[in-house]
Amino acid sequence: MTNQKMFNVAVVGATGAVGEQILKLLEQRDFPVAELKLLSSARSAGKTLMFKGREITVQEATPESFAGVEIALFSAGGGVSKALAPQAAAQGVICIDNTNAFRMDPETPLIVPEVNLDKLSDHKGIIANPNCSTIQMVAALKPLRDRYGLARVIVSTYQAVSGAGQSAIEELQTQSRQVLDGEPAEAKLLPVGSLPVKHQIAFNAVPQIDVFQDNGYTLEEMKMIRETKKILDDESIDVTATCVRIPVVYGHSESVYVELKSDYELEEVKQLLSDAPGIVVQDDPEAQLYPLATEAAGKPDVFVGRIRRDLGHTRGLNLWIVSDNLLKGAAWNAVQIAEHIALTQE
């Protein structure tokens, strides 16, 4: 590794929930970092963060911040990415964007390394990291698509509050204490910070993640529908989604119903999933073993269990898919992409 190329890396949104995990992963994975720039909004600039024992001061992200940077990981919201990633890309920076800003842009590859790494080299400076709830689902669907073909996907999600950021975690904790103490729960942020109506998340299930579209679906649901088709490169797959926030801190769970295009053997499905990269099968009813958000939290894998045939439709299959939304759903997928870029540029 003596000749390994080192990269000047910028993390935009370094002080956020995902940014924090990106930093941790770059350190744990010993990513070949030459210089590390930590960037953020003006509000968080001036804070210091630790990386490999060194203190680094967070700077406000501006177009000028990217001079000399080779790889930038963005997770500071869609607005920041829209404003800065194209300018950074124009300066030759390879931008890995964790926001919704460019995911459906036909020029931008939308990458889950286990699924469509072959599209990575199509990038024109920006590579999009998919939505958290999409990533874990397509990672599990990929081996099934390859073997049987996918006709239909019907997903209902059980999503953690950390997907809405650190302040949503604090809201869940505060409300939980209030309810346990017999006090009214104060809802200040969820379901959507920018919208007027707030709903209690503690001890509740809220079927709204992100804003509503004209078709009655939320943006989160439309992300799952559109991104799944784009990543699997197949507009013919029928995908529908119901996205629900529940009082969980880390780890999205998903009840996924799949209708395959051809008949299958259940044991083969389990074997295909067990053999798939990034997937861990946890499926032993007798031992009461199945994926759980609390167990998936902090781990990079996508856990799949409750694998069983639809008793009515022979090509129907139920899956329970769980992963840490901040890791495979965000930071780890982004760092995986960065690692593949680093490999191709060695």
Query: Which residues are part of a known binding site for phosphate?
Result: 103
Min dist. Cβ of residue 243 to a second copy (A): 9
Min dist. Cβ of residue 90 to a second copy (A): 36
> Residue 340 catalytic?
no
Report CA 116 to chain centroid distance, whole Å: 15
Which residues, including other chains, have CB under 8 Å from residue 87's CB and lie 6 or more apart? 63, 66
Nearest alpha carbon to residue 55 among 65, 47, 67, 64: 47
> Residue 132 catalytic?
yes
Min dist. Cβ of residue 108 to a second copy (A): 23
Residues contributing to the site for a second copy (CB under 8 A): 152, 154, 156, 158, 172-173, 176-177, 180, 191-192, 195-197, 199-200, 203-208, 212, 215-217, 225, 238-240, 242, 244, 246-249, 253, 255, 257, 285-294, 305-313, 316, 318, 320
Cross-strand bridge partners of residue 296:
none
Which residues, including other chains, have CB under 8 Å from residue 328's CB and lie 6 or more apart? 135, 136, 139, 278, 300, 301, 302
Which residues line the annotated binding site?
15-18, 43-44, 103, 159, 162-163, 184, 245, 325
Min dist. Cβ of residue 323 to a second copy (A): 13
Q: Which entry of 95, 123, 132, 243 is annotated as an active-site residue?
A: 132
Q: Which entry of 95, 123, 243, 252 is annotated as an active-site residue?
A: 252
Residue 277 or 285 with smaller CB distance to a second copy: 285
Three-state DSSP class for 341? helix
Residue 177 or 188 with smaller CB distance to a second copy: 177
Residue 98 or 134 with smaller CB distance to a second copy: 134
Cα–Cα distance between 270 and 319 in angstroms, integer? 10
Cα–Cα distance between 329 and 311 in angstroms, integer? 31
Give the amino acid at 168. Answer: A
Min dist. Cβ of residue 100 to a second copy (A): 18
Q: What are phi and psi of 321, to 5 degrees?
A: -120, 125
Residue 61 or 153 with smaller CB distance to a second copy: 153
Q: CA torsion angle for 286, 287, 291, 296 (degrees, to 10)?
A: 180
Cα–Cα distance between 129 and 96 in angstroms, integer? 7
Residue 297 or 337 with smaller CB distance to a second copy: 297
Active site residues: 132, 252
